[in-house]
Amino acid sequence: MQRLTLISSPLCPFVQRAVIALKEKTEPFDIVYVDLADKPDWFLKISPLGKVPVLKVERENAEPAIVFESAVILEYLEETVPGPKLHPEDALDRAQHRSWIEFCSQMLGDFWRLTTAKSEPESTAALATLGDKLQRLEMVVAGPFFSGASFSNVDAAFAPLFRQIDMLEAVVDIGFTRRLPRVDAWRRVLLARQSVQEAVPADYAQRYLSHLRERGGYILQERD
Protein backbone atom coordinates (compact mmCIF):
# COMPACT_ATOMS: atom_id res chain seq x y z
CA MET A 1 0.00 0.00 0.00
CA GLN A 2 1.17 3.51 -0.76
CA ARG A 3 -0.21 7.00 -0.28
CA LEU A 4 0.38 9.35 -3.19
CA THR A 5 0.48 13.14 -2.99
CA LEU A 6 0.96 15.15 -6.15
CA ILE A 7 2.55 18.58 -5.66
CA SER A 8 1.15 20.76 -8.38
CA SER A 9 0.51 24.17 -9.86
CA PRO A 10 -3.02 24.94 -11.12
CA LEU A 11 -1.93 25.69 -14.71
CA CYS A 12 1.00 23.34 -15.28
CA PRO A 13 0.34 20.98 -18.23
CA PHE A 14 3.01 18.55 -17.05
CA VAL A 15 1.17 18.06 -13.76
CA GLN A 16 -2.04 17.34 -15.66
CA ARG A 17 -0.40 14.32 -17.28
CA ALA A 18 0.03 12.65 -13.90
CA VAL A 19 -3.46 13.61 -12.75
CA ILE A 20 -4.98 12.12 -15.90
CA ALA A 21 -3.01 8.88 -15.48
CA LEU A 22 -4.08 8.55 -11.84
CA LYS A 23 -7.71 9.16 -12.73
CA GLU A 24 -7.55 6.64 -15.59
CA LYS A 25 -6.30 4.07 -13.09
CA THR A 26 -8.89 5.24 -10.50
CA GLU A 27 -6.12 5.46 -7.91
CA PRO A 28 -6.78 7.64 -4.83
CA PHE A 29 -4.34 10.52 -4.43
CA ASP A 30 -4.03 13.88 -2.77
CA ILE A 31 -3.08 17.05 -4.60
CA VAL A 32 -1.38 20.11 -3.13
CA TYR A 33 -1.06 23.33 -5.14
CA VAL A 34 1.91 25.67 -4.76
CA ASP A 35 2.47 29.17 -6.09
CA LEU A 36 5.47 28.90 -8.43
CA ALA A 37 5.95 32.66 -8.24
CA ASP A 38 6.44 32.38 -4.47
CA LYS A 39 7.71 28.87 -3.82
CA PRO A 40 7.47 27.81 -0.18
CA ASP A 41 10.58 26.55 1.57
CA TRP A 42 9.13 23.07 2.15
CA PHE A 43 8.60 22.71 -1.60
CA LEU A 44 12.14 23.78 -2.48
CA LYS A 45 13.47 21.22 0.00
CA ILE A 46 11.72 18.32 -1.76
CA SER A 47 11.92 19.49 -5.39
CA PRO A 48 15.55 19.34 -6.62
CA LEU A 49 14.70 21.34 -9.76
CA GLY A 50 12.23 23.69 -8.09
CA LYS A 51 9.55 22.57 -10.55
CA VAL A 52 6.27 20.69 -10.54
CA PRO A 53 5.10 18.00 -10.71
CA VAL A 54 6.54 16.29 -7.68
CA LEU A 55 5.09 13.03 -6.43
CA LYS A 56 5.45 12.17 -2.75
CA VAL A 57 5.18 8.45 -2.12
CA GLU A 58 4.49 7.28 1.43
CA ARG A 59 4.78 3.58 2.23
CA GLU A 60 4.42 1.71 5.47
CA ASN A 61 7.60 1.50 7.56
CA ALA A 62 9.52 3.71 5.10
CA GLU A 63 10.48 7.33 4.85
CA PRO A 64 8.47 9.35 2.29
CA ALA A 65 10.09 9.24 -1.15
CA ILE A 66 10.07 11.92 -3.82
CA VAL A 67 9.74 11.36 -7.57
CA PHE A 68 10.05 14.32 -9.93
CA GLU A 69 9.71 15.05 -13.67
CA SER A 70 6.39 14.16 -15.32
CA ALA A 71 7.71 11.43 -17.65
CA VAL A 72 9.36 9.64 -14.72
CA ILE A 73 6.21 9.95 -12.62
CA LEU A 74 4.16 8.41 -15.44
CA GLU A 75 6.57 5.48 -15.60
CA TYR A 76 6.41 4.95 -11.84
CA LEU A 77 2.61 5.02 -11.83
CA GLU A 78 2.51 2.54 -14.71
CA GLU A 79 4.78 0.14 -12.84
CA THR A 80 3.19 0.36 -9.40
CA VAL A 81 -0.47 1.37 -9.65
CA PRO A 82 -3.13 -1.17 -10.63
CA GLY A 83 -5.74 -0.43 -13.26
CA PRO A 84 -5.66 -0.20 -17.05
CA LYS A 85 -2.24 -0.28 -18.65
CA LEU A 86 -1.29 3.03 -20.25
CA HIS A 87 1.82 1.74 -22.03
CA PRO A 88 1.92 -0.97 -24.73
CA GLU A 89 3.15 -4.44 -23.84
CA ASP A 90 5.69 -4.59 -26.69
CA ALA A 91 9.07 -3.01 -25.84
CA LEU A 92 9.45 -1.29 -29.21
CA ASP A 93 5.92 0.12 -29.05
CA ARG A 94 6.65 1.42 -25.54
CA ALA A 95 9.83 3.11 -26.76
CA GLN A 96 7.94 4.77 -29.58
CA HIS A 97 5.27 5.99 -27.17
CA ARG A 98 7.95 7.48 -24.93
CA SER A 99 9.41 9.23 -27.98
CA TRP A 100 6.06 10.84 -28.79
CA ILE A 101 5.64 11.95 -25.18
CA GLU A 102 8.96 13.80 -25.53
CA PHE A 103 7.73 15.19 -28.86
CA CYS A 104 4.72 16.57 -26.98
CA SER A 105 6.99 18.16 -24.38
CA GLN A 106 8.77 19.98 -27.21
CA MET A 107 5.41 21.15 -28.56
CA LEU A 108 4.47 22.56 -25.17
CA GLY A 109 7.68 24.59 -25.34
CA ASP A 110 6.75 25.75 -28.84
CA PHE A 111 3.30 26.79 -27.62
CA TRP A 112 4.82 28.72 -24.73
CA ARG A 113 7.07 30.55 -27.21
CA LEU A 114 4.01 31.40 -29.31
CA THR A 115 2.12 32.89 -26.38
CA THR A 116 5.12 34.89 -25.16
CA ALA A 117 6.41 36.13 -28.54
CA LYS A 118 6.62 39.93 -28.48
CA SER A 119 6.68 40.62 -32.21
CA GLU A 120 4.97 39.50 -35.39
CA PRO A 121 8.05 37.70 -36.79
CA GLU A 122 8.52 35.75 -33.54
CA SER A 123 4.84 34.87 -33.43
CA THR A 124 4.78 33.79 -37.08
CA ALA A 125 7.85 31.60 -36.59
CA ALA A 126 6.35 29.93 -33.51
CA LEU A 127 3.09 29.28 -35.37
CA ALA A 128 5.01 27.69 -38.24
CA THR A 129 6.95 25.42 -35.88
CA LEU A 130 3.74 24.25 -34.21
CA GLY A 131 2.08 23.77 -37.59
CA ASP A 132 4.92 21.55 -38.80
CA LYS A 133 4.69 19.36 -35.71
CA LEU A 134 0.91 19.07 -35.98
CA GLN A 135 1.31 18.01 -39.61
CA ARG A 136 3.70 15.29 -38.51
CA LEU A 137 1.19 14.10 -35.92
CA GLU A 138 -1.49 13.89 -38.61
CA MET A 139 0.55 11.15 -40.24
CA VAL A 140 0.80 8.93 -37.15
CA VAL A 141 -2.42 9.30 -35.16
CA ALA A 142 -4.46 6.11 -35.49
CA GLY A 143 -7.71 7.26 -33.86
CA PRO A 144 -9.77 7.53 -31.85
CA PHE A 145 -6.76 7.69 -29.51
CA PHE A 146 -3.13 8.05 -30.47
CA SER A 147 -2.50 4.39 -31.19
CA GLY A 148 -6.02 3.12 -31.68
CA ALA A 149 -8.82 2.03 -29.36
CA SER A 150 -6.90 2.20 -26.06
CA PHE A 151 -6.12 5.36 -24.08
CA SER A 152 -2.39 5.60 -23.37
CA ASN A 153 0.17 7.82 -21.68
CA VAL A 154 0.70 9.53 -25.04
CA ASP A 155 -2.93 10.65 -24.86
CA ALA A 156 -2.41 11.77 -21.26
CA ALA A 157 0.58 13.84 -22.43
CA PHE A 158 -1.13 15.53 -25.37
CA ALA A 159 -4.47 16.32 -23.71
CA PRO A 160 -3.07 19.28 -21.70
CA LEU A 161 -1.55 20.74 -24.88
CA PHE A 162 -4.88 20.50 -26.68
CA ARG A 163 -6.53 22.15 -23.67
CA GLN A 164 -4.14 25.09 -23.96
CA ILE A 165 -4.81 25.31 -27.69
CA ASP A 166 -8.55 25.36 -26.96
CA MET A 167 -8.10 28.18 -24.46
CA LEU A 168 -6.15 30.28 -26.95
CA GLU A 169 -8.62 29.59 -29.74
CA ALA A 170 -11.44 30.78 -27.48
CA VAL A 171 -10.10 34.30 -28.07
CA VAL A 172 -8.00 33.94 -31.26
CA ASP A 173 -9.31 32.22 -34.39
CA ILE A 174 -6.19 30.36 -35.47
CA GLY A 175 -7.59 26.97 -36.48
CA PHE A 176 -4.58 24.90 -35.39
CA THR A 177 -6.18 21.59 -36.39
CA ARG A 178 -8.80 22.78 -38.88
CA ARG A 179 -7.12 21.12 -41.86
CA LEU A 180 -5.88 18.10 -39.91
CA PRO A 181 -8.89 15.77 -39.61
CA ARG A 182 -7.14 13.00 -37.66
CA VAL A 183 -5.55 15.34 -35.13
CA ASP A 184 -8.74 17.37 -34.84
CA ALA A 185 -10.84 14.28 -34.11
CA TRP A 186 -8.24 13.06 -31.60
CA ARG A 187 -8.16 16.44 -29.91
CA ARG A 188 -11.95 16.44 -29.49
CA VAL A 189 -12.04 12.89 -28.11
CA LEU A 190 -9.37 13.72 -25.53
CA LEU A 191 -10.95 16.97 -24.38
CA ALA A 192 -14.30 15.22 -23.90
CA ARG A 193 -12.79 12.48 -21.70
CA GLN A 194 -13.71 12.62 -18.01
CA SER A 195 -10.16 12.14 -16.70
CA VAL A 196 -8.98 15.06 -18.85
CA GLN A 197 -11.81 17.36 -17.83
CA GLU A 198 -11.22 16.60 -14.14
CA ALA A 199 -7.45 17.14 -14.32
CA VAL A 200 -7.66 20.90 -13.73
CA PRO A 201 -9.33 23.13 -11.11
CA ALA A 202 -12.87 24.34 -11.81
CA ASP A 203 -11.63 27.88 -12.52
CA TYR A 204 -8.88 26.75 -14.92
CA ALA A 205 -10.24 28.57 -17.99
CA GLN A 206 -10.40 31.92 -16.20
CA ARG A 207 -6.97 31.42 -14.65
CA TYR A 208 -5.35 30.36 -17.91
CA LEU A 209 -6.76 33.19 -20.03
CA SER A 210 -5.67 35.70 -17.38
CA HIS A 211 -2.23 34.10 -17.42
CA LEU A 212 -2.05 34.38 -21.22
CA ARG A 213 -2.88 38.08 -21.09
CA GLU A 214 -0.33 38.68 -18.35
CA ARG A 215 2.35 37.30 -20.65
CA GLY A 216 1.68 40.19 -23.02
CA GLY A 217 2.27 38.12 -26.13
CA TYR A 218 1.87 39.61 -29.58
CA ILE A 219 -0.75 37.05 -30.59
CA LEU A 220 -3.19 38.41 -28.00
CA GLN A 221 -2.19 42.07 -28.20
CA GLU A 222 -3.30 42.19 -31.81
CA ARG A 223 -6.74 40.82 -30.99
CA ASP A 224 -7.71 42.21 -27.58
Name the active-site residue from 11, 12, 55, 157.
12
- Which pLDDT value is given to residue 1? 84
Is the predicted pLDDT of residue 174 greater than 60, yes or no? Answer: yes
- Which pLDDT value is given to residue 28? 96
pLDDT tens digits along 89-135: 999 999 999 999 999 999 999 999 999 999 999 999 999 999 999 99
- Which pLDDT value is given to residue 77? 98
Domain 91-221's class?
mainly alpha
Q: What is the CATH number assigned to the segment(s) 2-80?
A: 3.40.30.10
- Which pLDDT value is given to residue 222? 56
- Which pLDDT value is given to residue 223? 58
Active site residue 104: no
Per-domain residue ranges of the chain: 2-80, 91-221
CA distance 72 to 105: 13
Mean pLDDT of 189-193: 98
- Which pLDDT value is given to residue 173? 92
In the chain, % of residues over pLDDT 70: 99
Mean pLDDT of 152-181: 96
Handedness of CA 198, 200, 202, 208 (dihedral sign): negative
pLDDT tens digits along 13-28: 999 999 999 999 999 9
